[in-house]
Structure 1
C-alpha cells in the first residue's frame, strides 16, 4: 500500500469525524464552504477526452456525472459513468471538508481499483476548485492536479493534469466539459 493513499484515507476518516463533532459555529462555516459545489449539484451531461497509454488523445466520449449532498448536507458525492471501447465504466468520489485544516478531502473510487482509494486535497482558489495529490513515480515526484473551472448554474469544466516539479513539466491527461440538465 502506498503511503500517500494510506494518509489520504486517514485524512478522509478524520474529515468525516470532524463533521460529526462540529459545533454550531463550524456548521455555519461549513454551509458556506459546501455552497462552493452548489452549482454542480444535479445531473450533468458531459463531453470527455483522455489520453491513451501512448499519450495520444482518444476520441471524445459522452459522460454522465451526478452530484448530490450526503450526510445531512455536510458532504458531497458525485458518481458518473461513460462508455469506452464497448465497456461501461463507473466512478464515484466523496468530498468532505476538514474544518480544522480548512481543506476539502476528496477520495476517488472505481470498481477496478487495484489499491486503496486515492485522495486529493484542496479547495477554492479564486473562481476555481483545485485539488492536489503528490506521489513518487519512476520519473520523480509528481503532483496530480484536478481543476474545476468555469463553474456556473449551466455547468463546469474539469481538467486532470500531472506536474513534474523537478522537471517543471505539466501533462494534461483528462478534460471534461459539462452542461447541467435542465
Structure 2
C-alpha cells in the first residue's frame, strides 16, 4: 500500500500535466483553448495575454477622473474551457472575472469579484458576441432614481493589438445611456499570447 502511494505521489505531476495540457504553463503562460470547449470560447481569444490600459471612472460631478494605469490579464482556465481575467491597479483596487459560455443558454456568464467590494455572492453579467464583433454583457440594475435598467459592459475595437471596454447604465430600451467607466487597452500587448 505504501509503495503504491509513493508511486502515485511521484507520478502525479506527470499525470496531471499530461491530463491538463490546456492549463497555463511555462510554455503557454495564458493557457490554450480546449478543442472540446464550445467554439464561443474563442470570442475572447484576441484578449488573451496582458495589456497596459488606461482606466477612467465618472466622478459625482459627471466629469471623468484622471486616467489610471492598469494591467489587464486574460488567460484560459479550467483546462482551457473558460476564461479568467484580472486587473492590477496601482491603487490596490484589483478585480477580476471568471467567464464561462454555457451552450444550453447560448450565453456567456461572467462572475465578477473585486478587492474594493468583496461579496459573499458574485454579481453575474450575461450576454454574447454580436455580429459587429462587440462582446456585450448585461446585469439588471436600477438607476439612482429607481428607473429599471441594466449595467451594460461592452468590449469593442477588438483586434490582436488590444481592445476597448466601457461600462454603462442603460434603460430597458437602451435609448438612455449613461457611461460610468471606460478602459482603453488598445496600446498593444505587454506580453504575447503565443
Q: Same fold (TM over 0.5)?
A: yes
Q: State which of 66, 85, 102 in structure 1 corresponds to 2:73.
A: 66
Q: How far 1:113 moved relative to its partner?
A: 2.1
User: After the TM superposition, which of the residue ranges 60-69 and 28-37 deviates more from structure 2?
Assistant: 28-37
Equivalent position of 1:107 in the other structure: 111
Task: Tell me what 1:181 maps to.
Answer: 190
Quote the offset at 1:134 in angstroms: 1.0
Q: Per the alignment, in what secondary structure is the counterpart of residue 136 of structure 1?
A: coil
Residue in structure 2 matched with residue 130 of structure 1 by the alignment = 136
Residue aligning to 1:24: none
Query: 2:98: which partner in 1?
Result: 94
Normalising by the residue count of structure 1, what TM-score does the alignment of the two structures yield?
Answer: 0.77
| Stretches (4+) displaced over 6 A | none
Shift of 1:46: 0.6
Asked whether the 8 Å contact 2:72–2:85 carries over to 1, the reply is: yes
Is 1:51 paired with 2:55?
no
1:129 shift after superposition: 0.4
Which protein is richer in strand relative to its size?
1
1:89 aligns to what SS in structure 2?
A: coil
Quick check: 111-120 or 57-66, which moved more? 111-120
> For 2:158, which of 132, 151, 166 is the aligned residue?
151
Gap regions ≥5 residues in structure 2:
1-33
Q: Deviations over 1:17-50 (max 9, x none)?
A: xxxxxxxxxx867342111111111111111211
CA RMSD of aligned residues (A): 2.0
In structure 2, the CA distance between the partners of 1:53 and 1:151, relative to structure 1 (3 Å rule), is: same
Larger Rg over CA atoms: 2
Equivalent residue for 1:32? 39
TM-score with structure 2 setting the length = 0.72
Ranges in structure 1 where 5+ consecutive residues have no aligned partner = 1-26
How many residue pairs get matched? 153
